[in-house]
Chains A and B, each alone.
Chain A
């Protein structure tokens, strides 16, 4: 069955109305700007998908938002997203969070390499095999003994790489380093002596600080037509260090 394309018909009808009627209908029809549309009413060519992939070291969450002309789109029965992880595949399920009923989720096991997404449709042509590049997973190694802020803080993580963005941050009341982008991934970095600062309300001179290293990659492709397929993938690893003066 072809989509009924209610949105397009509404546009055609409203073009023939007077300005006053247009304003009136606009006020009534304006609800469609904030209320999700049903995918049965929207052609694939009018859709975009926005994907976030977040791995914080305990499984990966895949989140997909489907957006039509001016509104989120809710999947009609028979239509679904399927993610392929290596040789296995999973169907995404609607989020149960309030206000996120039109968001589709999957929790993925540990993996490396890229993901692929299928958008299977019964009301229009589907879009299969969409590539979702993801930075490689890694583990973070930090000093296990207290380390002075007057000394360098060596950070190491598994595997160097390229083709993605890399950033690190240190967050603790007595040892703070704002998020710092790194131009290349050599599998390690040294925060120089004197670079960690005590925050004004640090309190004790020694503290536990959280080190965060993030590999991220954003890509934008076509969603099988003029629509966008934006993917933001991020792998974050955190650890703590004991910082002393």
Chain B
């Protein structure tokens, strides 16, 4: 038995040497790269209670892992106390900020004396909004109306409806009327769920906003900025 274990351990120890990991390339890092060659690909999703910031540092089309001494932080503009370090998540970086704000500051800070920091990428979110939805249980055989304000006629709104009893529904409003009515004919039941009560999760999104990248960064930066509100409605057939 011990021999078997020893053999497995030996094989495990040898496998890296035998080339089992040779096809996994080490990640590209920001080390030694000029800030002017770097760009940020940023996604910000703001709810009524928090803001999720995701950022990918790139050199051209290459996604980079930050080298030691390079860091990303995000906070509400004018409120330094809210600043939070972004953590490595998947192939990028992310942080969640509690609260609401229209403008965020994203900073790429570099400790290396030879490197230039980019502390002032300013992200202006599309206007926040509040949603009014039914608060009591409603029948899916009746119309379900959502309203929200303030409206912004210049921006597109999207709506997603999900639930254990319905097939996912997506709608896009090319301009913002401040209201949407979900009609019974919009909802397709999942097989076997036609007669079941279930909670509908309605997500309203407003995209847009503006970004001003720190001038120390290179070209090619992108930002997707979204206000998102989620309402949950208990329904019966």
Contact = CB atoms under 8 A, between A and B. Distances in A.
B177 A192 contact: yes
Given A192-B171, A194-B173, 17 more contacts: A149-B174, A150-B153, A152-B181, A181-B188, A182-B186, A183-B187, A183-B189, A186-B184, A189-B185, A190-B183, A192-B181, A193-B179, A194-B157, A195-B172, A195-B173, A197-B172, A197-B174
A55 interface: no
B171 A166 contact: no
A192 B173 contact: yes
A186 B185 contact: yes
Interface of A: 149-150, 152, 166, 181-186, 189-190, 192-198
B173 A184 contact: no
Given A192-B171, A194-B157, A195-B171, A150 B177 contact: yes
Interface string B181-216: 101111111000000000000000000000000000
Contacts of A181: 188
A64 B17 CA distance: 70
B148 interface: no
Contacts of B173: 192-195
- Which applies to chain B's interface (DSSP): helix, strand, loop or mixed? mixed
Contacts of A152: 181
A193 B189 CA distance: 25
A179 to B, nearest CB: 14
A183 B157 contact: no
Contacts of A189: 183, 185
Contacts of B180: 192
B186 A193 contact: no
Contacts of A196: 174
Contacts of A197: 172, 174
Contacts of B183: 186, 189-190
8 contacts: A150-B153, A181-B188, A183-B184, A183-B188, A192-B173, A193-B173, A194-B175, A194-B177
B56 interface: no
Contacts of B174: 149, 194-198
Contacts of B184: 183-184, 186
Nearest to A180: B186
Given A193-B173, A196-B174, A198-B174, A183 B179 contact: no
Contact of B185 (A150, A182, A194, A198): A182
Contacts of A192: 171, 173, 177, 180-181
Contacts of A193: 173, 177, 179
